[in-house]
Structure 1
Amino acid sequence: MTAPLTPPPHQPPHDDGHQGPWQAPDPMTGHLPPVPPREDGPGLRTELREAAVVTVGVALFGLVLGALWLWLAPRVPLVSDSSAVYLKDTEGEQAIGADGTFALLALGLGVVTATAVFLWRRRGGVPLVIGLAVGALLGGVLAWRFGVWLGPTQDVAAHAKELGKGVVFDAPLELNAKGALLAWPLSAMIVHLALTGLFGPRDPDPYAGYYTSYAPQPQSQPPAH
């Protein structure tokens, strides 16, 4: 059996939910020090609205990613002999280069969008981070489909027949490594969390004003006789 816990003499029991456990009366006035005000967030409704804005805004950057991917990705050359279509360079690595280009561009865009979101709202929050991640994932899918749509035609056989025998043309743009779609959301979340941890606002110490009450007070000296 253990003895009941009782507060020490210098810590009077608090009788309301606003007084911290480390308070002590002011030695001069005998009153408890004021409790610092709490800084609450903007509210769940505001956070959800901001998260929706972030999701849509980040997803629209997928159009930029798709255009850059089409511009920078290496082309896969094809050739036709009037009966079939073949790779002109059977040992080429252009297809792998297209996947790598998409992943690298997505990583860079993750840094850009995460920084932009942090500068817009210099704080964290679960809805904001989820909105950033969902927007980045949707933006990656949009970039993939937009780049394919802007690129060479998907009807390879008809295009080869139109060009004729022995004419080299570009294969449709493809993303074979679908895992590259995760590069943007992962990069965005990591960068945003890092920026929030390094430069985000700090929660105030609720007991900052209480520590000084424990400082030793000077003792009055008796008058000399």
Structure 2
Amino acid sequence: MTAPLTPSPHDRPVPVPPQDLPPAPTLSQALRAELPAAAVVAAVATVSGVLMGFLWAWLAPRIPLISDGKAVFLRNSEGEQAIGADGTFALLGLAFGVVAAALVFLLRRAGGVGVVTGLAVGALLGSLVAWRLGMWLGPTSDVVAHARAVGKGVVFDAPLRLGAKGMLLAFPMAAMAVHLGVTALFGPRDEVVVAGPGSGV
């Protein structure tokens, strides 16, 4: 019968000294590093409003007007062309928001507060550009002069207007929602460090 072995001090796990890791960047440093990418994202989203404005002026339904020589009237008082113009703008904003968010995610999967902020600001500015450009490309806003130019009893188009200004938020809201969704589903995951035996954890 052998005597039980007593543990030797040399058999104890030797603690591993912690490695010196570089300090994590502060929020201000991270934002400064993202400024160039955020500026590019905001600029591209803003410029895309030009294409959106052209499409709105082209696709939005027209509101027919007619003049009796003294006043201007709606040719069809029950028409829904004004609602159609708002709906067209909203649908274009949603489509542009989806495309912008997908492109930003594909080109910069890491994301970042600065890039997301640039996307939101650029999408809102792009929506404003599309609104003003579409109105400028549409029929003239001087209805009286237009009625005089075409003459009595001749049908002409009313100015292109956005009745519900809330439609301006369709582009940025769609961009933010889609970017948040794809980042949550397909974005990079933080690595989970599993402590092994003898790590002292």
Query: Normalization by structure 1: what TM-score?
Result: 0.76
Which sits farther off after the overlay, 48-57 or 88-97? 48-57
1:213 corresponds to: 197
Quick one: distance in 2 between partners of 1:100 and 1:117? 26
The one-letter amino acid of 1:32's match is V
Quick one: distance in 1 between partners of 2:12 and 2:19? 18
The one-letter amino acid of 1:93's match is E
Quick one: distance in 2 between partners of 1:90 and 1:109? 32
2:177 corresponds to: 190
Quick one: distance in 1 between partners of 2:50 and 2:12? 67
CA separation of 1:145 and 1:39: change in aligned 2, threshold 3 A: farther
Deviation at 1:44, TM superposition (A): 2.8
Quick one: distance in 2 between partners of 1:86 and 1:31? 88
Q: CA-to-partner distance for each residue in 1:165-195, whole Å, 9 max, x for gaps?
A: 1100110100010000011111100111111
Q: CA-to-partner distance for each residue in 1:71-108, whole Å, 9 max, x for gaps?
A: 11111000011111100000001001100110011011
CA separation of 1:193 and 1:35: change in aligned 2, threshold 3 A: farther
1:9 corresponds to: none
CA separation of 1:194 and 1:38: change in aligned 2, threshold 3 A: farther
In the comparison of the two structures, how many residue pairs are matched? 186
1:32 corresponds to: 16
CA separation of 1:36 and 1:188: change in aligned 2, threshold 3 A: farther
2:3 corresponds to: none
2:77 corresponds to: 90
Quick one: distance in 2 between partners of 1:181 and 1:148? 14
Point out where structure 1 has 5 or more consecutive residues left out of the alignment: 1-26, 216-225
Quick one: distance in 1 between partners of 2:162 and 2:109? 35
Q: Which secondary structure does the structure 2 equivalent of 1:198 belong to?
A: helix
Give identity over the alignment, percent.
58
1:15 corresponds to: none
Correspondence list, 1:1-225, <5 A: 30-32=14-16, 43-205=30-192, 207-208=193-194, 210=195, 212-213=196-197
Q: CA-to-partner distance for each residue in 1:52-71, whole Å, 9 max, x for gaps?
A: 11111101110111111111
CA contact (8 A) 1:124 1:193 kept: no
Query: Normalization by structure 2: what TM-score?
Result: 0.85
2:6 corresponds to: none
Q: CA RMSD in A?
A: 2.3
1:222 corresponds to: none
